[in-house]
Amino acid sequence: MQGRLRQEHLSVVIETECAHCQQPIHIEMDSDLGYRVVEEGAEPLVYVPLLDVQKLDAPSIIDGF
């Protein structure tokens, strides 16, 4: 999100684990909201909520949902 606001290319690695089997999961995400799961065979449910922050009247992004 920050990369889109600044018009810069940024990326992040999310380190988490499967809620079912506790296997580690690493998800790479870029400024274009593209993502890649590092672990082969892992298929986590991933979603990116879209919110037009320029039209946001709420005090925070969380309140916008």
Burial of 27 (0-12, 13-18, 19+ CB in 10 A): middle
User: Which pLDDT value is given to residue 14?
Assistant: 92
Distance CA 48, CA 34 (A): 9
Other C-beta atoms lying within 10 Å of the C-beta of residue 29: 18
User: Which pLDDT value is given to residue 27?
Assistant: 94
Structure token pair of residue 62: 């969380």
Q: What is the value of pTM for the model shown?
A: 0.60
The string of pLDDT tens digits covering residues 7-64 is: 888 888 999 998 888 999 999 988 887 889 999 988 888 776 677 777 878 787 777 6
User: Which pLDDT value is given to residue 1?
Assistant: 61
User: Which pLDDT value is given to residue 28?
Assistant: 94
Burial of 49 (0-12, 13-18, 19+ CB in 10 A): exposed
